[in-house]
């Protein structure tokens, strides 16, 4: 069965520091992968998605993610975090024949 694991429930980083949020998936073939961000009390917004081709995907707000088939991972990165990046981040997998499978999310806190 398909699954998505986000190992970190909560991460705190200093403003200006680099960020990496981890996402591991379980699926027998190459999936479509997504990262979403959710600010408190709001819906989810798409940051980026991977379908095929270049394994390094650029998204909005300066985020990028790298698909690594050998590690079944799709980690989200940002070189310099801003206070406005504090939010909940969700990784999701699309196997094509079922609704998206979401990870449980990682909450990002940003400190001065």
Partner 1 sequence: SQTIHQWPATLVQPVGSPLSLECTVEGTSNPNLYWYRQAAGRGLQLLFYSVGIGQISSEVPQNLSASRPQDRQFILSSKKLLLSDSGFYLCAWRGRYSGNTIYFGEGSWLTVV
Q: How far apart are CA 92 and CA 104, in angstroms?
A: 9
Name the residue nearer to partner 1 (CB basis): 14 or 30.
Answer: 30
Lookup result for tokens 């200006």: 16
| By CB under 8 A, residue 53 contacts partner 1 | no
Name the residue nearer to partner 1 (CB basis): 54 or 112.
Answer: 54
**In this chain, which stretch among 14-22, 57-65, 76-84, 89-97 interacts with partner 1, using CB under 8 A?**
89-97
Q: State in angstroms the smallest separation of the CB of 31 from partner 1.
A: 9
Number of residues that bind partner 1 (CB under 8 A): 22
**In this chain, which stretch among 21-29, 59-67, 70-78, 96-104 interacts with partner 1, using CB under 8 A?**
96-104
Interacting residues with partner 1 between 13 and 32 (CB under 8 A): 32
How far separated are the first and last CA of the chain, in Å rounded? 41
Q: Where are the beta strands (DSSP E) in the chain?
A: 3-5, 10-14, 19-21, 24-26, 32-38, 44-50, 56-58, 64-68, 73-78, 87-94, 101-102, 106-111
| By CB under 8 A, residue 92 contacts partner 1 | yes
Of the candidates 31, 24, 29, which has an alpha carbon nearest to the alpha carbon of residue 93? 31
State which of residues 25, 35, 63, 103 lies at the interface with partner 1 (CB under 8 A): 103
């Amino acid at each position: 069965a398909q699954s998505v694991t986000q190992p970190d429930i909560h991460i705190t980083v200093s403003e200006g520091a680099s960020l990496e949020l981890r996402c591991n998936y379980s699926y027998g073939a190459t999936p479509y992968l997504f990262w979403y961000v959710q600010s408190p009390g709001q819906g989810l917004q798409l940051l980026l998605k991977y379908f095929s081709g270049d394994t390094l995907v650029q998204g909005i707000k300066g985020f990028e993610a790298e698909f690594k088939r050998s590690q079944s991972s799709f980690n989200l990165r940002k070189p310099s975090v801003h206070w406005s990046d504090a939010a909940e981040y969700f990784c999701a997998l699309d196997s094509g024949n079922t609704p998206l499978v979401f990870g449980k999310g990682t909450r990002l806190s940003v400190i001065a």
